[in-house]
Amino acid sequence: MTHSATFQLNTLGVVTSPYDEKFAIPRQPGLVSAAKGKITLTGDANNVELVRGLEQFSHIWLLFIFHGTAEQGWKPLVRPPRLGGNKKLGVLATRSTFRPNPIGMSVVKLDEIKVNNKQVELHISGLDLLDNTPIIDIKPYIPYSDALTTANAGFADQAPDNKLDVHFTLAAQSTLQQLNDKIPELKSLITQVLAQDPRPAYKQAKGDNKIYGIRLYQRNIKWRLISASTIEVFEIS
Ligand code: SAM
């Protein structure tokens, strides 16, 4: 093998996610438990034999392609949002999406494996993935080896705090009520996503007058800060 070997990877499945755009997706899996999605296996991987026994595992590793940013390339140094966006670290010291190989890895909860007319679907929750993310591998999560509770994690030693309280106007509550049969988890999803304060690092911990929008389940959700620590969701359309 030469030092410059290249390998071809095949997509094994595609993710359906509530996150239609990058803005406001949590930085890691497990931070927003109300995020529910599925992986639809594709091509030769759409065969129930590939997942025989996987139902014994509560959590799985997903290896995936950062397809939304892959074409933007990468640089050796990046500015992790965790550090306020003003300190540079080596790309391999971070979980930046802009990597030499645009491969991501996330542990998610495996809720159910469904087979409908030979179509295999893995229903998952806690994901941090954009809609349509291509999956290149799936592996069982093995706590005795994968969960290292004494490991040092430098600048990412703690989960980010839930920074903000999230309130809904009467109008927004009424739309949630109408959507309740279709998307029962929508209120929890919006609350958990916004509590993390998706605004850029330089705006956090401050009030501002801007009207923001996020897209979840192909709906536009409008919100603003009504105090330095409180968000009001005022429109869901
Ligand atoms: N858990 C993964 C990892 O460590 O490799 C991803 C961490 S990365 C910091 C998480 C961010 O990736 C999300 O906040 C979202 O903005 C972005 N993201 C998720 N899916 C993506 C995709 N398919 N293409 C580009 N960016 C994506």
What is the per-residue pLDDT across 52-111, written as a single tens digit (0 to 9) for each? 999 999 999 999 999 999 999 999 999 998 888 889 999 999 999 999 999 999 999 999
Predicted pLDDT at 1:
58
Predicted pLDDT at 204:
76
Structure confidence by residue, pLDDT tens digits, 13-53: 999 999 999 999 999 999 999 999 999 999 999 999 999 99
Burial grade of 162 (CB within 10 A; 0-12, 13-18, 19 or more):
middle
Rounded to two decimals, what is the model's pTM?
0.96
Domain boundaries, the chain: 13-155, 161-236
Helix H or strand E segment including 232: strand 230-236
Q: Is the CB of 94 under 6 A from ligand 1?
A: no
Checking ipTM against 0.90, whether it exceeds it is: yes
Q: Which atom of ligand 1 is least distant from the CA of 105?
A: 5
CATH topology classification for 161-236: YaeB-like fold (3.30.2310)
Distance CA 128, CA 171 (A): 28
Q: Residue 145 carries which DSSP code?
A: H
Rg (CA), the chain: 19
CATH of 13-155, one of 2.102.10.10, 2.40.30.70, 3.40.470.10, 3.30.70.920: 2.40.30.70
Query: In angstroms, what is the span from residue 60 Cα to ligand 1's centroid?
Result: 16
Query: In angstroms, what is the span from residue 168 Cα to ligand 1's centroid?
Result: 28
Predicted pLDDT at 205:
65
Structure tokens at 150: 């004494």
